[in-house]
Amino acid sequence: MYRDQQIDQDEAEQPAEQTVYAIDTKAFEASGRSFQYAVFSRLCNRGHCSFCEDGKASPTGMGTPSEMMKAIGSECSSEPDFLLPGTPITEAVFRIMIKRNNKPMTLEEVQSELTSAWASVIYLKNLSEDVLRRLLEGKNEYYIVPVGVREASGRR
């Protein structure tokens, strides 16, 4: 009885819609920087993974952004230094987003990725939703912006 009530209450408190965030690659390019190069420079690039190993990731032979994001998601991001404890939060969010092919993410999803990446140093970080929201809704040099909303029911 008590449990059921508890669940009802939790559901009632869930916001109906959650804002999702992504990198605005057009704005990124419009600022005069290359999104392709930005992704390229986050590859592990030391021949540790197949994409970086077979020469596709040389400065002359950059892959397309989506090709490189795929390699980062499947390989480079498992390198231990992909998200170091000293990585600034916005840089870390940028890396998480390219690792997930720049699919729009909720604050909750960003938060849980950061929390698991930084599990050992989490006491040093302030990763509250408020902090993340302020970071991503303010102007940031990575052009991470709110891109829409996702219905809370039936999410994922």
Q: Is 99 within 8 Å of 77 (Cβ atoms)?
A: yes
Residue 107 neighbours by CB distance under 10 Å: 22
Residues 6+ apart with CB under 8 A from 49: 71, 75, 76, 79
- Between residues 43 and 132, which has the closer beta carbon with respect to Zn ion? 43
- Between residues 49 and 62, which has the closer beta carbon with respect to Zn ion? 49
Planar angle of CA 41, 73, 133, nearest 5 degrees: 80
In this chain, which stretch among 29-37, 39-47, 107-115, 127-135 interacts with Zn ion, using CB under 5 A? 39-47
Return the residue of 20, 22, 39, 44 that touches Zn ion, per CB under 5 A: 44
Tell me how far, at minimum, the Cβ of 50 lies from Zn ion, in Å.
Answer: 8
Tell me how far, at minimum, the Cβ of 19 lies from Zn ion, in Å.
Answer: 31
How many helices (DSSP H) and strands (DSSP E) are in the chain?
8, 3
List binders of Zn ion among 63-122 (CB under 5 A). 75-76
Q: Does 49 contact Zn ion by CB under 5 A?
A: yes
- Between residues 14 and 78, which has the closer beta carbon with respect to Zn ion? 78
- Between residues 43 and 96, which has the closer beta carbon with respect to Zn ion? 43
Q: Which residues on adjacent β-strands are paired with residue 23?
A: 144
Distance in Å from the first CA to the final CA of the chain:
29
- Take residue 59 and report the two structure tokens written for it: 């400065």
Tell me how far, at minimum, the Cβ of 51 lies from Zn ion, in Å.
Answer: 5
- Between residues 76 and 93, which has the closer beta carbon with respect to Zn ion? 76
> Do the bridges between strand 17-23 and strand 144-151 make them parallel or antiparallel, or are there none, so unpaired?
antiparallel
In this chain, which stretch among 38-46, 99-107, 117-125, 144-152 interacts with Zn ion, using CB under 5 A? 38-46
Q: Count of residues for the chain? A: 156
Contact residues for Zn ion (CB under 5 A)? 43-44, 49, 52, 75-76
